[in-house]
Amino acid sequence: TCSLLRSPKGFPKLKNDTFLRAARGEETEHTPVWCMRQAGRYLPEFRETRAAQDFFATCRSPKLCCELTLQPLRRFPLDAAIIFSDILVVPQALGMEVVMVPGKGPTFTEPLKEVEDLLKLRQKVDVTAELGYVFQAITLTRHGLEGKVPLIGFSGAPWTLMSYMIEGGGSSTMAKAKSWLYRHPEASHRLLRLLTDVITDYLVGQVAAGAQALQLFESHAGHLGPELFQEFALPYIRDIAQTVKSKLKEEALPLVPMIIFAKDAHYALCDLAHAGYEVVGLDWTIRPQEARAQMGKDVTLQGNLDPCALYAPKEKIGELVKKMLEGFGTQRYIANLGHGLYPDMNPEHVGAFVEAVHAHSRHINKH
């Protein structure tokens, strides 16, 4: 299903648009569900497909990305697919080298240390030249999906990418990246602006290639407090929504729903509800009822089962899902985990989660 010979347009007709309708705030018969990292190492077929390949080489292969994106949909009745890729392809497009180190994760060979290092970055990025492989993967996957469910494209948000570029990888404190915000606020804004411009073009390119929704991952929001978030994250998050939408209009492309997922940013829920996104994703540290109360009726919520709940027995997963649905309500809601699936999770428990969302939401809607 992932042959490169299909024409880029003339996509198959969409059969299940539940996810898109919920994202736009329209009524749905059941609550749609997908999982962050649903294409991932918890699936034996994923490990098999990825075995021989370097991680970023896999990301650069449209055929492999298509195959990996489709794998979870062969197993589970998910309501959306998310393209297999990585948020760090954007720093790569800016000219930075990132390698995947086994047991350690993504590692930058030369992280940004001094303000002068910003000069080493490409100041103008041709996203089609640098990230065209993602666009090809999206187009290929739209055909491979055969209209089964919508395809989500995504990007990391500016602060999250900046923190990786300075830390050189994961970090428990983000102290190096945060020190830039305090010591070099102007240079930080310059870097965040550069990232914002690339991300905007990248997301528009994904829609042109066939993405039917977009998610922005501000995965490191929890390292910022309200003040730093207000100054260094939120303005760029807002800007991306606004600019992407105006460019989509200009280029006569579909106005797709956009999701913002700022992990651990409970201090900013109201701001995120008014940041220009149709959907706000929530992590598992927020009570559904409180999120609903704070964010009002005009935004769809997505989340937020603790991923570790999937280690529980299947009956328990069903109970937790029912409670979550009662908390959020079944409408203007997309069920998901509060973060991604872990590699040692049992695929059958993922199936139990997906089925519980469908069964309980249908039951609640009937009664």
In the block, residue with structure tokens 């187009």: 139
Q: How far apart are CA 139 and CA 11, in angstroms?
A: 9
Q: Which of 96, 79, 93 is nearest to 32 (CA)?
A: 79
DSSP sequence for 295-347: H-SSSEEEEEE-GGGGGS-HHHHHHHHHHHHHHH-SSSEEEEESSPPPTT--H
The catalytic residues are 37, 41, 50, 86, 164
Q: Which of 282, 291, 336, 334 is nearest to 309 (CA)?
A: 336
Q: Which long-range contacts (CB under 8 A, 24 or more apart) does 282-285 make?
A: 282/338, 283/338, 283/339, 284/337, 284/338, 284/339, 285/338
**Residue 212: CB atoms within 10 Å:** 25
- Listed in sequence order, the residues at least 6 apart from 105 whose beta carbon sits closer than 8 Å to its beta carbon are 169, 170
Per-residue tokens: 217: 């991952």
- Which residue(s) pair with 151 in the sheet? 81
Q: Which H or E run contains 281?
A: strand 279-281
In the block, residue with structure tokens 């390698």: 99
Q: How far apart are CA 276 and CA 274, in angstroms?
A: 6
Q: How far apart are CA 50 and CA 54, in angstroms?
A: 8
